[in-house]
Amino acid sequence: MVNGGDPGKAYGYTEEIAATLITSQTLQAKIAELAVAVAADHHNPKPPLLICVLKGAVMFVTDFAMALPIPSELEFMAVSSYGSATSSSGVVRILKDLDGDITGRRVVIVEDIIDSGLTLSWLLKNLQTRGPASIEVVALLRKPDAVKVDVDVRYVGFDIPNEFVVGYGLDYAERYRDMPFVGLLDPKMYL
């Protein structure tokens, strides 16, 4: 258990984090499993292109790339979904596009969390138009009770309750990304 059951304290977030949802050790064990599964399905000699969706997936993609037992290449994309602070609308804007061409590449989208699925569904359609050989998705977290559109996600780390979570890259108003575990934000922080 990270921080002995008092997750916020060591990070200066005392009183803001209601509980630890996924400890750092549990995250790392699952990431190792996901990496082995992705590598086992990847029979192409050309390294897969990992596309990290900024900023939330940044912690995940670095741990995932290092755990992957095959070489990979890394690209970053930043998108913003219009909506309220804690829910998305599906109207997406590209803040930072890929640096390179993905034509003919085996793309693995690395996502932090699938909530409604609207952002990912838009992203898949967008990337599909660029002629990749294939696109797969690996998502660390998914909220099954929040899904509004069905997206084909081959690899999922954890299914979690429909509550707002922070840490390990996930933020609320840009805070909490630096926590090494996933925690439940105390609702008093956003109500």
Catalytic residue list: 115
Query: 30 or 177: whose CB is closer to ligand XMP?
Result: 177
d(CA 157, CA 109): 14
Q: Which helix (H) or strand (E) holds 90?
A: strand 87-96
Residue 171 binds ligand XMP (CB under 6 A): yes
The rounded distance, in Å, linking the Cα atoms of 53 and 189 is 25
- Total site size for Mg ion, rule CB under 5 A: 1
Does position 166 interact with ligand XMP (CB under 6 A)? The reply is yes
Using CB under 6 A, pick the residue from 17, 88, 106, 123 that binds ligand XMP: 88
What is the x/- site pattern for ligand XMP, positions 21-60, by CB under 6 A? -----------------------------------x----
Distance CA 89, CA 80 (A): 10
- In the DSSP assignment, the letter for residue 190 is T
Please, what is the minimum distance in Å from the beta carbon of residue 113 to ligand XMP?
5
Of 138 and 166, nearer to ligand XMP (C-beta) is: 166
Instruction: Give, in order, the Cα–Cα distances in Å from 141 to each of 57, 132, 162, 169.
Output: 10, 25, 11, 12
Give residue 186's identity as a one-letter amino acid code: D
Chain positions contacting Mg ion, by CB under 5 A: 171
Chain positions contacting ligand XMP, by CB under 6 A: 56, 81, 88, 112-120, 164-166, 170-172
